[in-house]
Amino acid sequence: MAAFDAVFVGAGINSLAGAALLSKAGWSVCVLERSGELGGCIRTVDGLTAPGFTHELLASWHPLWTGSPAYAELKDDLDRRGLEYLNTELPTGSAFPDGSSIFLTTSLASNVAELDRHAAGDGAAWKAMFNGFMKTADLSFGVLGTELWSPAGLGLGRQALKRFGRRGLLAYVGTMLSSCRDWLGGTFESDAAHGLLAPWVLHTGLGPDQATSGFMAQVIACALQLGGMPVPKGGGIRLVDGLAGIVRDAGGELRTAVDVERVLVSGGRATAVRLADGETIRAERAVVASVTPSQLYGQLLAEGEVPAELTRAAARYRYGRAEMQIHLALSEPPAWEGDERLARTAIVHVTPGLDGVSRAVNEAERGLLPAEATIVCGQPLAVDPSRAPAGSWIVWIQLQELPAGRVKGDAAGEIDVADGAWTEELRDAYADRIVSRLGRHIRNLEQATIARVTLSPADIAATNVNLVGGDIYGGSCALDQNFLFRPLPQSPGHRTPVEGLWHIGASTHPGPGLGAGSGYLVYKELTKPPLSRRLLSKVPVVGR
């Protein structure tokens, strides 16, 4: 029986980062992945549309990763393995139906001028927002980077209480719970500013009218100004290969196309995992599962290993809206209507604005295809020209407002959804609508398109067992499944009722994204000195 200090189930960013960090700390590590590739949602595909074009099948942008503590600890090792990040001063913008647009840059002065261009005073509001956020950034980012159900989480609360006082703390928490609509309406005058920032809450698994979406919009807005929109030169596979190399160089193993059937428990402790072919791999110190709660408590653990109430709660775990992706290979750069900066911007949201985002989210949550969805138009060549032949272009389209489960109808009344299953016909009909809309903003889109590949929610779900129903965010991020309550109020945080079994991934705090937050938090817990040693370190040494 093979034995390792830690066995990881799943090979997404949280597992790979956690495994690399533990390997550097001297642990023997094994990572097991049921698909044929490492990386989870980081999947770089050469020739997906046409020869010479390198596409990111799912996740594409790495600002959360390059700003993470995991990257800070691993950067030198990754640099030595050839990982190179490229960036841009134009991370995002929004293009509106009337041909106008607005941009967010990595310069505070430029952003002040840009927002003032749309409404006098909005630039000053942006500066005040940014400076105010940065004064409490340690707390705001701390919420997303701390194991909340732990002494560290309690310490963060005490720090906030000391800084704000009781009433000030209540006010601070209140602002964290506000919706994006309320925050935008109380901060900026122009509809353009609202339309610039509202689409970004979709990237957190929320809608602009949900609790905490105002806080998350501020986090993302400030993070974009601070960090831009970095991508690895050559594709996300470079990061995956770098992290895997750290594990292998330390003597660890990474295995693909192996299906973990069960986490084995003895005396209340996770001791091993059993594969579908019967092989058993022993975990001397930890099993770390990057899976959904449904998988962990409904499949990987035998009945009776955890309280029945927890198993029932996991079965009720809610998944969020589905996603579609459209990948286009273009023979030439896009000819955007309006501002020339659109062709140089990493991510352009094509949207009617705040109300449009809200309407599309509402339609999707009622089971309808949105009439006017938010088009996330990614342009990776604006940052990394190496991903396609010279003179050509890639458009990476993400659609985050699609129904979970079967489609009940079309909000525009144009598409026959039949029985609501994601057939090729339904997928292509909806993709036609999106590409046609985008073509009103990019005048050469149709004539320049060499090839198109579309992934429906069903196609996305088939790529990864964690992407249930095409939900790329690991479950609904509504308040009752977020922050202190993620993944479940019955088992929040990353510890599980089974000793030595840890839960990571998008379904756990701090939620979705490529920041490797949960993998890093569990690594810190696993390498924390024993309590006795920590207590002794605080005892003053008495001299002779």
Share of the chain above pLDDT 90, in %: 96
Q: Share the mean pLDDT of the chain.
A: 96
Q: Which residues contact 183 (CB under 8 A, 6 or more apart)?
A: 175, 214, 215, 217, 218
Report, as an integer, the average pLDDT of 254-279. 98
pLDDT, residue 537, reads 54
* For the chain, domain boundaries: 2-42+236-317+477-532, 107-227, 319-463
Confidence of residue 540 (pLDDT cuts 50, 70, 90): low
Q: Is the pLDDT of residue 334 over 90?
A: yes
- Give dist(CA 37, CA 240) in Å, integer: 10
- Give dist(CA 393, CA 327) in Å, integer: 11
pLDDT, residue 536, reads 53
Q: Which residues contact 101 (CB under 8 A, 6 or more apart)?
A: 93, 94, 95, 338, 339, 341, 342, 348
Confidence of residue 544 (pLDDT cuts 50, 70, 90): very low
List pLDDT tens digits, range 199-238. Answer: 999 999 999 999 999 999 999 999 999 999 999 999 999 9
Supply 85's token pair: 């990040």
List pLDDT tens digits, range 462-509. Answer: 999 999 999 999 999 999 999 999 999 999 999 999 999 999 999 999
Fold (topology level) of 2-42+236-317+477-532? FAD/NAD(P)-binding domain (3.50.50)
Report, as an integer, the average pLDDT of 255-261. 98
